[in-house]
Amino acid sequence: MDQELIKSCEAKAQEWLASPVYDEQTKAEVKALLDAADKTALVDAFYQSLEFGTGGLRGIMGAGTNRMNRYIVGAATQGFANYINKAFAGKKDIAVVVGHDCRNHGREFAETVAAIFSANGIKVYLFESLRPTPEVSFAIRHLGAVAGVNVTASHNPKEYNGYKAYWQDGAQVIAPHDKGIIDEVNKVAIEDVKFEGNPDLIKIIGGELDYDYMLAVREARIDAEVIKRQENLNIVYSPMHGAGRVVTPLCLRSWGFKNINVVPEQMVIDGNFSTVVSPNPENAEAMTLGMKWGTKLNADLVIASDPDADRLAIVCRDPKGEWIIINGNQTCMMFCYYIIKNKIALGQLKPTDFLVKTIVTTEVIAEIAKKNHVELRDCYTGFKWIAREIAISEGKQKYIGGGEESFGFLPYDKVRDKDAPAAICLICEIAAWAKEQGKTLFDLLIDIYKEYGFSYEHTVNVVRPGKTGADEIKQMMVDFRGAKAPKDIAGSKIVCTKDFQALTATDAEGNVTKLDMPATSNVLQWFCADGTKVSVRPSGTEPKIKFYLEVKGQIGCANCYPGAVEDAKKKVEAIKQSLGLA
C-alpha cells in the first residue's frame, strides 16, 4: 500500500484524536484504526471526505472522513442550513422536515440534523419515528416547509446510511440550488457546526401527517368500484423491516382492500435486515419470505417496499401458478397502461394529461401513449427530473403518472419522489381489475405485449475500479463518440444516435437535430432499425459504466412468452458481442 497515503490518513486520524469536538467513543474507534497493523481500514475511513453530492450523502457507517457519522452528517447539515438562511433571508418562520428510516443510527442522525437546523434558527418538523421517503416529500409541501432531509440509504446493504436532501417543492434538489448547497457544505469546518439545538424550534410530528398522507395517496385511486367488488383480493405485503410497515397497510385499507396480510418476520424494525441478504426488493432472494407466505395464504399477489418505502417489488403467479417477479420496466409499463386505459374507460382522461418516463425505461410505454394519444415525456434517470416535469406544467397540465426501470413509480402529484405506498395501492387496484376479468397480473402483462409489442430489457454493469478504471471508462465514452462509434448493433443498422452531452440527435443520413433537455448528461443512446435500443452511461457514484439493452419481438399468447424471452436473451448476447461486452 502507498506509504504516503497511509501517512496522510494517519495525520487526519490524529487530528480527530486531538480535536475537542469528537466524542470519546468516536476517538476510541479512530485509535483502534490507527493501532491496527493492517492499515486498510484506516485508509478506507480517511483517504477522502465523503462527498455531499446532488442527492446528499451515502456511505458506510463508522468513524472517519469517508464514513457516515454524526460529524459528517453535522457538517452537511450546517452547510445546508447556511444555504437555506441565505436563500430565504428575510423570510419569517422558515421550516424544514426531517425524517429517517429503520437503519442503524438513523434516529441519532435525524436528531442531530434537527438540532443543527434549530440551532441555526430554522424550525424543524421532526417525525416521531421512521417514515417513508415519500411521506417526507409530502410533508414538505403540506406543511409549507422550505426544505427537508430524510436519513436513509434506500436499498443499500446494512452497513450503509445516507442523507437525502429536498427543496421546498418536495423534490430532491436540482440546479441551481444543488451546486449552491454543495458549495456551502464544502466551506464548513467541524468547529463551525452548531450541534447544540434549540428545543423550542423542534416540533415532533407523526400520526396526523400519516392521516393527511393517507388521504393524499387515495387521490391516486382510479376506480373505487372495482376495489369494492374485489375487496377481498388476497394481498401479502412486506416492508422489508422498514418504513412502509404502518403507512402502507393503512393506505391499502383506506382504498377499500380488506384482506391485507403482512410478512410478520419483516414487520420487525431491524437495521440489520436479518431476514435478507440485502434489503433490495429488486433481488429475488429478498422476496423469498414473502413468496413463502403468499403460498401459505394462497395470495393473489405479493408486494414489498424497500427500507425507506420509495421503491416497490411485485410478485404474481404465472400460468403454472408459480411465483414470478415483475421487473422494473414491466412494472412501469403496467402502471402506464392501466392509468391510460381506465381513465379513458371512466371518462377521466383529459387532453392535457401527461405521463413521464426516464430515457432508459422501456419504449413500449411510448407505444402505449402514442396509440392512445397521450403525451409522454422522456427525462433523465432520477425522480428529481420527473418532479421537474410536474413542476414546470403545474396549473397548465395534469401529471397522471411517471416512473423508471429501477422499480420506482409515482402515480399522482402530491409527492415529488418515488412513492411505494401509493404505487402498491395502485398495483393492487390493477390486480383487482385483472381478477374481475379472470386474469392475473401476469395475464395482463401478456395482454400488453400482444397489443403493443414484446420487449426484453437487460442491464450490463462493467466495473472498472480505481483511477485507471475511471480513465478507462472515460475513454470508452470518448471512443463511442468517435473512432469506435458503431454503425450497426448485432447486425441491425443504427437509425438514430442521441448524445445527451452534446444534446444532439443524429439520424442514419447524418442529419442533426437538437435535444430539448434541462441539462447535459454523459449518456449515449443508439436506436436500431429492428427496434433495439442501447443506452450507455457511466455511474456517477460507483466505478462502473452501465449499458441498458432493450430488444423487441412479438408474441401472440402466454405460451409464446418463454420462447420470446429465450430469443431475446440470444439477441442480448449478440449485442454484447457487437459492443465488446461479452
DSSP letter (8 states) at residue 191: G
Same domain, 342 and 265: yes
**Lowest mean pLDDT segment, chosen from 75-84, 316-325, 524-533:** 316-325
In single-letter form, the type of residue at position 95 comes to: A
Assign 554 to helix, strand or coil.
coil
Question: CA 277 to CA 414: how far, in whole Å?
Answer: 34
Question: CA 453 to CA 555: how far, in whole Å?
Answer: 7
Same domain, 175 and 271: no
Enclosing domain of residue 33: 1-44
C-alpha cell, 181:
448547497
Same domain, 476 and 492: yes
pLDDT at 62 exceeding the cut of 70: yes
pLDDT at residue 283, as a whole number: 87
Phi-psi map region of 72: left, alpha, beta (phi>0 left; psi -120 to 50 alpha): alpha
Same domain, 157 and 299: no
CATH of the domain at 466: 3.30.310.50
pLDDT at 303 exceeding the cut of 70: yes
Q: Is residue 307, in this structure, part of any structural domain at all?
A: yes
Mean pLDDT of 556-574: 93
DSSP 406-419: TTEEE-SSS-SS--
pLDDT at residue 147, as a whole number: 98
C-alpha cell, 269:
424494525
pLDDT digits 0-9 by tens, 225-234:
999 999 999 9
pLDDT at 541 exceeding the cut of 70: no
Residue 263 · residue 288 · CB < 8 Å: no
Neighbours of 495 (CB within 10 A): 16
For helices 420-436 and 133-142, the axis angle rounded to 10 degrees is: 110
pLDDT at residue 37, as a whole number: 94
3-state SS, 253-275, equals HHHCCCCEEECHHHCCCCCCCCC
Mean pLDDT of 507-528: 96
pLDDT at 1 exceeding the cut of 70: no
Mean pLDDT of 120-144: 98
- At which of 452, 474, 498 does a domain end? 452
Closest to 301 in 3D by CA, of 450, 447, 424? 424
Neighbours of 367 (CB within 10 A): 17
Q: Is residue 57, in this structure, part of any structural domain at all?
A: yes
Question: CA 496 to CA 509: how far, in whole Å?
Answer: 9
pLDDT at residue 557, as a whole number: 86
Same domain, 39 and 98: no
Same domain, 380 and 277: yes
pLDDT at 543 exceeding the cut of 80: no
C-alpha cell, 492:
441491425
pLDDT at 394 exceeding the cut of 70: yes
In single-letter form, the type of residue at position 32 comes to: A
Mean pLDDT of 292-300: 98
Same domain, 32 and 69: no
Same domain, 144 and 271: no
pLDDT at residue 312, as a whole number: 97
pLDDT at residue 161, as a whole number: 96
Q: What's the structural domain count of the chain?
A: 4
Q: Is residue 210, in this structure, part of any structural domain at all?
A: no
Same domain, 272 and 416: yes
- At which of 393, 419, 452 does a domain end? 452
If one compares 551 and 473, the residue with the highest pLDDT of the two is 551
Q: Is residue 14, in this structure, part of any structural domain at all?
A: yes
In single-letter form, the type of residue at position 548 comes to: Y
Same domain, 332 and 480: no
Question: CA 380 to CA 393: how far, in whole Å?
Answer: 17
Q: Is residue 214, in this structure, part of any structural domain at all?
A: no
Rounded alpha-carbon distances, angstroms, from residue 303 to 142, 324, 330, 574: 28, 12, 15, 34
DSSP letter (8 states) at residue 265: G
pLDDT at residue 542, as a whole number: 66
Q: Is residue 512, in this structure, part of any structural domain at all?
A: yes
Mean pLDDT of 46-75: 92
C-alpha cell, 337:
397502461
Q: Is residue 215, in this structure, part of any structural domain at all?
A: no
Burial class (CB in 10 A: 0-12, 13-18, 19+), 365: buried
CATH of the domain at 433: 3.40.120.10
pLDDT at 459 exceeding the cut of 70: yes
Q: Is residue 223, in this structure, part of any structural domain at all?
A: no
Same domain, 112 and 248: no
154 is catalytic: yes
Same domain, 397 and 466: no
Q: Which of 154, 238, 305, 521 is catalytic?
A: 154
In single-letter form, the type of residue at position 437 comes to: Q
- At which of 171, 205, 239 does a domain end? 205
DSSP 71-87: HHHHHHHHHHHHHHHHH
Phi–psi pair at 457, nearest 5 degrees: -115, 145
Closest to 235 in 3D by CA, of 197, 199, 265, 262? 262
pLDDT at residue 54, as a whole number: 77
Pairing of strands 408-410, 533-538: unpaired
Across the chain, which distance is largest between two alpha carbons, in Å? 71
pLDDT digits 0-9 by tens, 171-187:
999 889 999 999 999 99
Cα-Cα-Cα-Cα dihedral of 146, 149, 154, 158, to 10°? 180
